[in-house]
Structure 1
Amino acid sequence: MRKTTILVITILMGTLGLHAQKCKQPYPVGKHLVNTDEAGNNIAMESYDILTFFDNDPKKGSPDFSSNYEGINYLFSSAENKSKFDDAPTRYLPQYGGFCAVAAYFNKVEELQTYSIYQVVDGKLYFNKNEKAHAVWVKKKPEKIIKRADKNWNCLVVELGLDINEPYVEPASIK
């Protein structure tokens, strides 16, 4: 019995060690993983104007004010917001491609069930997929969630991300 327990612990530790080592890679240049519409139009964030989240007043964008960044279409509610995004897109992009931050903490990619559960931390936009995920976000503290999710996200992009030079289609494993 003791030998079996030690063997199981050793195998688990080895697996966890390999996983931790794998996730120490830098962000993969030339790949991305972004929350886009299911219609295949490559429209990010269900057409929400991502800048309006920073003002705590989320609004849908319009095709009249759109920008394409790395093959993904972003819609804005005004010419002013489009211009701000065009001047500094990485400043406004949601973290973890607009997927759930708590899922990234657990080394997963999960679609949002709502766009009403979000938080701006240190000038960066984070989403939680539902109330249950948000409860984890609050309980474990955003700083802890972000630190681990940042490390995990690089591996998730390596594993599931797509080449930015190819037409973007959200991976089937996420839908």
Structure 2
Amino acid sequence: MVPISDKNLSTLLLCYIEKGEYFNANKFLTVRKMQENPLSDELMKIDDIITFCRKLSVARYDDKDESMVQSLIDEYSVKYPDLLDIHRSKLWIMDNNADSLDDYRAIDEYCKDILEMYPFDGEVMAIQAKAKMECGLDNEAMDLYNNAIYNTRNGLIWQIENETGISRIDLERDFIEELNNEE
């Protein structure tokens, strides 16, 4: 491990967590845990956040258990009110249960609020795009879908090609071809 202070490591780990990449933060924290000296209070807090995010991810992506996701949100949202994973999970529940124009308008508004805090989150953009599409705002939805594809590595978001005709794989292929043609 490169010598780095716990304070600087905490900053790095929090950056990963703020991007919704708790799994990357966990890799570095695991290496730090192998050292003899105990974790600082800040790193202990980060370890708690990572554990929570892992539980939330399993409940949402693996088990697709809305009640467990809601239970975790209820337990941790006061402790971590600005955590991106909590907002994404709330949106997931809202989207799963949306069945009216009012529901999709509420999702659109909530996404707008989240994107003020996390302006480059492709997952939130994709959910907002779906909500806008359901509200009949097709042009805005297409712009958001396009931005979502450029702002995420989430393969589920890349699969929106069927709905929009936008293909991340084609976009990347075209970009690589452009780079090769410039050489």
The one of the two structures with greater contact order (alpha-carbon pairs below 8 A, sep at least 6) is 1
- Between Structure 1 and Structure 2, the one with more helix by share is 2
Could you say which TM-score interval applies, normalised by the shorter chain? under 0.3
Higher relative strand content: 1
Question: TM-score if structure 2 supplies the norm length?
Answer: 0.24
